[in-house]
Amino acid sequence: MKISNWFSSPPQVYFICKMTGLFCDDMRTKADHDTKILQAHNIIVHHPIIKEGIPKVHEMLKDRSEKEMDHLWNGDKKAIKWASVIIDSAAGLYSTGAKREFGKGRYRDWTPTVTLWDKGVHPPFIARQEDDICVTTVEEAASTIQKLWGTRLKRMSWKFPIYLANWHDLSLYKIWRFFK
């Protein structure tokens, strides 16, 4: 692999979303649509709804067994570690899983975060202050991700001041994350 290819590698996005209590077909249709938009912007997407094979059937998502959930949660945690950008589409909703995923990406991994808000919703003050970007459409998220973090070199440039300011909290894991 050429070094220029390595520096220009596209972002890998983990797409946080609420799933509990929602209809499978609605979730799957939205996940497919959002993924297509992100992929059209040369963004690699890990979307849990697609990864879990949620079908396009008009029924509520069924509870999974502890064993199934353990497997799914471990897969999501691995995907978050590999992500170079996080999109939180559950920003204005309460979802225990979504909040834990956001925390792992943002606070453990120092990953750039984009929060997706419903149209017409003005993001709260704390979100505007603490999230990297607040948007109302996936299209806006995709173009912003490409503009700010669309290559490994852009992501490293964005992270450098954070790493410099937090040098006392660096670990081998965080150094590895720097190159994501």
- 11-68 per-position pLDDT tens digit: 999 999 999 889 999 999 999 999 999 999 999 999 999 999 999 999 999 889 999 9
Per residue in 21-46, is it b (16+ CB within 10 Å) or e — as a string?
ebebeebbebbeebbebbeebebebb
CA–CA gap between residue 14 and residue 104 (Å, rounded): 11
pLDDT of residue 50: 97
- pTM for this prediction: 0.92
In 3-state terms, what secondary structure has residue 171?
Answer: coil
pLDDT, tens only, 82-129: 999 999 998 888 888 899 999 999 999 999 999 999 988 899 999 999
- The number of angstroms, rounded, from the C-alpha of 142 to the middle of its chain's C-alpha atoms is 11
Tokens of 95: 């979802």
